[in-house]
Amino acid sequence: MNLYEIKNLVKVYGEKENKVHALNGVSINIPRGKFVVVLGASGSGKSTLLNILGGMDTPTEGEIFFDGENISKHTQSKLTKFRKENIGYVFQSYNLLPNLTALENVEFSTEIGKLPKDGAKNALTMVGLFERKDHYPAELSGGEQQRISIARAIAKKPKVLLCDEPTGALDYKTGIMILNVLCDINKKQSTSIILITHSQDIAKIADVVIKMRSGKIIDVFENPAPQSPNEVEW
């Protein structure tokens, strides 16, 4: 079974003359276990699609099945449960809580629910920052903060990790490091990854690329030979 099966998703924001069609009939099946990149220009509907995939927003029309479960008609409380059980989210801005240490940020996220024993520590090890567990966000670099936010997202072992421009705020070298961490998680923990970017070059690391324009999918293709982040330049 596919991870996602999406049928004719439409998302309209606003009313009357202020209406914006952020998604205009998006249909696609997304296989599990893959590194999927969603590529498109600003305003093409990437974040809107990701938010609906993650149960953070609901479509105006259309259906979305996750692991066979139709989440498009879920109530808010059902969606919250769905997110806690299945979804890890990484944003461009790391959204760490300044008064909590790295370890506490990973342990106490409201989106996490119950963690497996040592889940937070294992996640920090996975992103290479276990030694920094007692440091506060202000004591960490941007790339390190993003790695903590990735640890927070993977600590509960989500089925899918949704990443909205996770390297957007980082310099080139740090961005490569983050992409390496994400590839590692995809390979070692078989976590499905869906990552948004506007960079054609970052898309070269993907197993599958979904191209969007004006709220529509204009192309989907598999990379015959995905590159390692170390080979990519942008």
Ligand X SMILES: Nc1ncnc2c1ncn2[C@@H]1O[C@H](COP(=O)(O)OP(=O)(O)OP(=O)(O)O)[C@@H](O)[C@H]1O
Q: Which residues bind ligand X (CB under 6 A)?
A: 13-14, 20, 22, 40, 42-48, 198
Residue 20, binding choice from Mg ion, ligand X, none, Cβ under 5 to 8 Å by partner class:
ligand X
CB of 130 to Mg ion, least distance (A): 31
| Region near Mg ion per CB under 5 A, out of 14-22, 39-47, 59-67, 106-114 | 39-47
CB of 164 to Mg ion, least distance (A): 6
Does the protein bind Mg ion through residue 197 (CB under 5 A)?
no
CB of 106 to Mg ion, least distance (A): 25
For ligand X, the closer CB: 40 or 226: 40
In this structure, what DSSP letter does residue 63 have? E
How far is Cα 126 from Cα 180, in angstroms, rounded to an integer? 11
CA-based torsion, 179, 181, 187, 189: positive or negative = negative
For ligand X, the closer CB: 84 or 216: 216
Strand order in the sheet with 35-40: 87-90, 160-164, 192-197, 35-40, 208-213, 216-222
CB of 124 to ligand X, least distance (A): 29
DSSP assignments along 132-195, one per residue = GTT--GGGS-HHHHHHHHHHHHHTT--SEEEEESTTTTS-HHHHHHHHHHHHHHHHHS--EEEE
Among residues 47, 86, 109, 191, which is the contact residue for Mg ion, using CB under 5 A?
47
CB of 165 to ligand X, least distance (A): 7
For ligand X, the closer CB: 92 or 125: 92
For Mg ion, the closer CB: 71 or 162: 162
Residue 22, binding choice from ligand X, Mg ion, none, Cβ under 5 to 8 Å by partner class:
ligand X
Residues 76-135 that bind Mg ion (CB under 5 A): none
Pick left, alpha or beta for residue 18 (phi over 0 → left; psi -120 to 50 → alpha; otherwise beta): alpha
Q: Which residues contact 129 (CB under 8 A, 6 or more apart)?
A: 102, 144, 147, 148, 151
Residue 43, binding choice from ligand X, Mg ion, none, Cβ under 5 to 8 Å by partner class:
ligand X
For Mg ion, the closer CB: 119 or 215: 215
Residue 48, binding choice from ligand X, Mg ion, none, Cβ under 5 to 8 Å by partner class:
ligand X
**Residue 97 corresponds to which tokens in the numbers above?**
């809580």
CB of 169 to Mg ion, least distance (A): 13
Give long-range contacts, CB 8 A cutoff, 24+ apart: 143-146. Answer: 143/170, 143/174, 143/177, 143/178, 145/94, 145/96, 146/90, 146/94, 146/170, 146/174, 146/178
Positions touching Mg ion (CB under 5 A) are 47
